[in-house]
Amino acid sequence: MNSRRRWVGLVGVMMAFAMIVAACGDDDAAESTATTAAPATTEAATTTEAATTTTEAAATTEAATDIAYGRGVTMEPCPDSANPDNGCIYLGVISDFSGPFSAFGLPLTWGKEDFWARVNANGGLMGFDIAITPENTIDAGYVAEQHVAGYQQIRENVLALAESLGTLQTLAALPTMIEDNMVSPVSSWYSGWSFPEVDGGLILEAGTNYCMEAMNGFDFVMQARADIEGGIPFTYAIVGFPGDYGGDYGAGVKIAAEAHGLGDPVFEHVQLPFSVGGTIDEAVAGILTTQPDVVFVTTGPNELGSLMGGVAGGGYLGAMYVGTGPTWHPALLGASEGALVPLLEAAYFQTSQNAGYLDETPGHQAMREAFEANGRANPNLGYVAGWVMSYNMYALLEQAIMNKNLTPEGLVAAIPEITVDYEGMLPDRQFGDPNDTVERGTVVHRVDATSPDGLQVIAPFFVGPTAANYEFNAPCLVLGG
C-alpha cells in the first residue's frame, strides 16, 4: 500500500480501462521555461481548408454589407490584412504574462492569435477579418485590480473579448462588462459560468467545469482501483489554490466521495499562495502526516513539483496524484535535470477539459499546423485550450453576421442560437439550460516524457457515474457565499 510500484501497475490497468470506455462510446506556473514576453499578433500561416474557413469571396463580401455594427467593428480592413475588401472585427485579450499563471496565459493567447490568423488566411469570416492587436492585449498579472484597469483601457475599442483569464479577475470586471454587453470566453472553468445570475449571460464556457472534472477524476480513480484492489476504499487529500479553482474542484471531489460513501478528506489545504516563491511546506507536512492514498491537486506546475518532490523527499511514496489542466506543464520534465520524471510517470495523472497536443482530430491537425508555422515553442494544454475556446467566438460572430446585427447587443442575442462545432476537439455544444448543455466528459492523461506536451491520453472524455447523474442546477461553489 505504501509503495510507488502500485501506481506503476495502475498505469496499465487505467489504459486497459480506457480502451473499454472508448469501445462503449466514447490560472499557470509560477516558474517555467516559457517566455513571459507579452504576445503580439502574428502573420497568418497557410493552412489546409477546414470548417472554420469561408468559401466564396464574393458571397462573404456581400454578407458584410447592410449589417448593423458598432463598437469594435469597422468596414475598413484590419491592419496588415491580406483581405483588403473585408471589414475588421477587433477582439481584446486580458491575460497573465508575468504572474503566477504566465506559463499558461502566454500559450493560451498564442492559441487564440493563431486560430484567428488561420481564419483570416482563408479569406476571413463572411466578409470580415478578426484582429487581436497589441494595444488591445493586456497583461493583468492575475491581479483583479489590474484586470479591471486593463478592461477600462480597451472596452471602447473591441466588440468582444477573445480572452479573460481568471474567475475572480473576470468577476471584478463583470459589472462594467454587463453595462457594455461585452461577451467573452473565460480561461477559468468555474461551475458558476453556466448560470446567468453569475455571468450576466456573457460568458462562453468551453469544456468541463472544475466541479465535473473533479467528479470524473475521482470516479476514474475509484474504478481503476477497484480493478486491482478489489474495490477497497481509499483515503484522499485535497491541495490547491483558494477561490474557485481549488474550491470548486474541491467541491466536486467531495460530491464524488459522498456518492461513493468515502467521507471527508483526511487532509485539505486550499490556501496555497499564488505568489512566486510562496511556500507549500504546510501542504507537504500534512500529506506526510496523514499519508493519503490519493492527492487531488489544483495548483500550478511549480507547486505540483514542489509538493510531489517534498513528499517523496520526506519518505512517503505511496500516494497517487491527480491534477487538473492548469496544474501541468511539460517544463516539469526538465526540472532539476529530470529528477522528478520517474515519480511523475509512476504516480501522477492529469485530467483536463480537452485532449492534448497530439490528439487526432481535424481541429488538432489544424492547430498543430498553425503552431509549427508560427514558430511556437513548448506545446502544452494552455495552447490547446486557447485554440479550442476560439470556436465559441467563431460560432457567435458567424451567427451575428447572419443575423445582420454585429453590435454588442446583437452578439448577446445570438448566444442561444448557436451550436459550436469544435472540429472534433470537443463534443458540439449549445448554450441553454445548464443541466442539459453542460459538458460532463473529462480527458484523463498519464505522464509520457516522450510526448511534446508530456502527456498521453488514457481515457478520452470519460464520464463517471457521479458526473453523469449529477443534477447541475446551481454552482458547486458559491463565491463570496
CA 467, 471, 474, 477 torsion-angle sign:
negative
Are residues 454 and 309 both part of a single domain? Answer: yes
Take residue 204 and report the three cell numbers written for it: 462562453
Q: Determine the pLDDT at residue 243.
A: 81
Across 54-63, 69-78, 118-127, 164-173, least confident range: 54-63
Residue 229 lies in a domain: yes
Residue 116 lies in a domain: yes
Residue 391 main-chain phi, psi, to 5 deg:
-65, -35
Are residues 217 and 306 both part of a single domain? Answer: yes
Q: Determine the pLDDT at residue 23.
A: 31
Question: What's the one-letter identity of residue 24?
Answer: C
> Strand (E) positions, 55-203?
68-69, 73-74, 87-95, 128-131, 137-139, 160-164
Cβ atoms within 10 A of the Cβ of 82, count? 14
pLDDT in tens, 442-472: 999 999 999 988 999 999 899 999 999 999 9
Are residues 368 and 336 both part of a single domain? Answer: no
CATH assignment at residue 167: 3.40.50.2300
- How confident is residue 242, by pLDDT bands cut at 50, 70 and 90? confident
Q: Determine the pLDDT at residue 229.
A: 60
Q: Has residue 40 got a pLDDT over 70? A: no
Q: Determine the pLDDT at residue 101.
A: 83
Three-state secondary structure call for residue 279: coil
Residue 23 lies in a domain: yes
Are residues 228 and 285 both part of a single domain? Answer: yes
Domain, as residue range, for 82: 57-208+358-437
Are residues 221 and 232 both part of a single domain? Answer: yes
Are residues 388 and 428 both part of a single domain? Answer: yes
Q: Determine the pLDDT at residue 102.
A: 87
pLDDT in tens, 159-204: 999 999 999 999 999 999 999 999 999 999 999 999 999 999 999 9
Residue 49 lies in a domain: no
Q: How close are the terminal C-alpha atoms of the chain, in Å?
A: 39
Across 225-229, 392-396, 430-434, least confident range: 225-229
Cβ atoms within 10 A of the Cβ of 469, count? 11
Are residues 379 and 292 both part of a single domain? Answer: no
The residue among 48 and 441 whose pLDDT is bigger is 441
For residues 38-44, give the mean pLDDT.
Answer: 38
Q: Say what percent of the chain tops pLDDT 70.
A: 83
Are residues 368 and 397 both part of a single domain? Answer: yes
Are residues 297 and 384 both part of a single domain? Answer: no
What are the CA-CA distances from residue 174 to residues 151, 158, 211, 273, 470 (Å)?
10, 16, 22, 24, 28
Q: Determine the pLDDT at residue 344.
A: 95
Residue 38 lies in a domain: no
Residue 454 lies in a domain: yes
Are residues 98 and 199 both part of a single domain? Answer: yes
pLDDT in tens, 102-156: 888 999 999 999 999 999 999 999 999 999 999 999 999 999 999 999 999 999 9
Q: Has residue 39 got a pLDDT over 70? A: no
CA 187, 189, 194, 197 torsion-angle sign:
negative
Number of domains forming the structure of the chain: 2
Q: Determine the pLDDT at residue 273.
A: 61
Contact 389, 374 (CB under 8 A): no
Helix residue ranges, H only, 325-361: 341-347
Cβ contacts of residue 436 below 8 Å, gap of 6+? none
Are residues 330 and 461 both part of a single domain? Answer: yes
- DSSP assignment of 370-384 equals HHHHTT--S--HHHH
d(CA 292, CA 320): 9
Q: Determine the pLDDT at residue 37.
A: 39
Residue 40 lies in a domain: no
Residue 167 lies in a domain: yes
Are residues 61 and 141 both part of a single domain? Answer: yes
